[in-house]
């Protein structure tokens, strides 16, 4: 049976991302999100909840890892993706991937949701 080796969650106010969009803060969005994430979110009628939940997922990952953005991790080292059925997942690159695997983690699970004013994400790591 797999052992839980990390757990993180994050709650984000959607209005924060709506304000970024309204103020045209493109540089912030480019720093936080990959081109694929921006393309997906900005194609939505209301992109803010989709951006917020992706940010929450990245924060939850960093909390599960226990490092924050230290050790050279960049926001774009983590990308929220969806499979054919819509199930969310995280693709890790660069330092995020290195620290995840060197930490003895073998599998990452992501659950996320947005409703009303908030977006929520939880990340669980399973050890090898």
The set of catalytic residues is 63, 114
Q: Are 121 and 105 in contact (CB under 8 A)?
A: no
Q: Is 112 helix (H, G, I), strand (E, B) or coil?
A: strand
State how far the Cα of 71 lies from the Cα of 29, in Å rounded to an integer. 22
State how far the Cα of 85 lies from the Cα of 100, in Å rounded to an integer. 26
**What beta strand segments (E) does 1-128 contain?**
4-13, 78-82, 88-92, 105-115, 118-127
CA nearest neighbour of 54 among 72, 71, 76, 70: 76
Q: Are 48 and 18 in contact (CB under 8 A)?
A: yes
């Amino acid at each position: 049976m797999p052992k839980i080796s990390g757990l993180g969650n994050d709650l984000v106010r959607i209005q924060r991302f709506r304000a970024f969009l309204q103020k045209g803060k493109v540089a912030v969005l480019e720093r936080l999100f990959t081109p694929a994430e921006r393309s997906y979110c900005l194609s939505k009628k209301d992109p803010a909840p989709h951006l917020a939940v992706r940010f929450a997922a990245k924060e939850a990952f960093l909390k599960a890892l226990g490092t924050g953005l230290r050790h050279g991790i960049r926001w774009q080292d983590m990308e929220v993706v969806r499979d054919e059925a819509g199930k969310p997942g995280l693709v890790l690159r660069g330092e995020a991937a290195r620290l995840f695997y060197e930490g003895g983690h073998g599998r990452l699970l992501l659950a996320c949701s947005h409703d009303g004013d908030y977006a929520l994400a939880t990340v669980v790591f399973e050890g090898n």
